[in-house]
Amino acid sequence: MKKNSARIIALALVVMIFGAVFTACAGSNKPSGTYTLKTINGQSVKDYYTKQASDYGMSLDDLLGLSNLTEKDLNDFMTMSFNGDGTGKLDSKVGVASDYTWEMKDGKLLLTEKSSGVVDTCEFKNNSVTMVSEGLTMVFGK
């Protein structure tokens, strides 16, 4: 009987510890890890580039072929990474990359590009990053 009681107490403690860790992580108010581009101007990445191709009288495959990409590459076409030391990287399948530092300030996510010093103000909400740049609204998520 004592063995069963000890197991139940041990199990309860493990559940409580996992619950506490999960609650702390779920309530995080800063980005961590890698986020993938999910939407551009409210459209899926594929839909956005299909429209762009159509505007130029091309098929999506033709447009992607100009950069040696396939439709599958659109699933992780662009990523943003956030390291615990306040550094990160914006990276794309077409070889364009940018290193930055990041910080949360007054509820906003500030990205400072290392090479130019340009600061972009982004929103971090519901574990997604929203960046507005050059007329595009890009949402990155896990």
pLDDT tens, position by position, 20-77: 333 333 346 899 999 999 999 999 999 999 999 999 999 999 989 888 898 888 888 8
Residue 13 predicted with pLDDT over 60: no
Contact status, residue 25 vs residue 32, Cβ threshold 8 Å: no
What's the token pair of residue 38? Answer: 């999910």
Cα gap 64→49, rounded to integer Å: 9
Cα gap 36→110, rounded to integer Å: 18
pTM: 0.75
Cα gap 111→45, rounded to integer Å: 22
Cα 131 to chain center, whole Å? 10
Residue 134 predicted with pLDDT over 60: yes
